[in-house]
Amino acid sequence: MKARVFVTLKNGVLDPQGKAIGHALNGLGFGAVGDVRAGKVIDLELHESNAEKARASVKEMCEKLLANTVIEKYEIELKA
């Protein structure tokens, strides 16, 4: 089973990387771009066939290492 984790900053947390990307895009002539938020994607290969167990395991990984839950939120996507 494969898991994909999307980690982004929580709303209200300043995102200097997103701000820099937004300014750069505007400078390149993409004036229609407004707010930009940057994040990360983590792909995991799991040796688990039970979706509930896989999701619980990935959630624990996120809580312990993959995301700083004080300032970041995460979403988990599973694929068989």
Rg (Cα) of the chain, in Å, rounded?
A: 16
- Residue 71: per-residue pLDDT: 98
How far apart (Å, rounded) are the C-alpha atoms in residues 19 and 53? 37
Domain covering 2-79, topology: Mth169; Chain: A , (3.30.1280)
Predicted confidence at residue 11, as pLDDT, reads 95
25 C-beta neighbours (distance < 10 Å), count:
15
Please report the pLDDT score of residue 52 as a whole number: 98
Which pLDDT belongs to residue 10? 98
pLDDT at 80: 86
Q: pLDDT per position in the chain (80 positions), as tens?
A: 999 999 999 999 999 999 999 999 999 999 999 999 999 999 999 999 999 999 999 999 999 999 999 999 999 999 98
**pLDDT of the residue at 6:** 98
How do the domains of the chain map onto residue ranges?
2-79
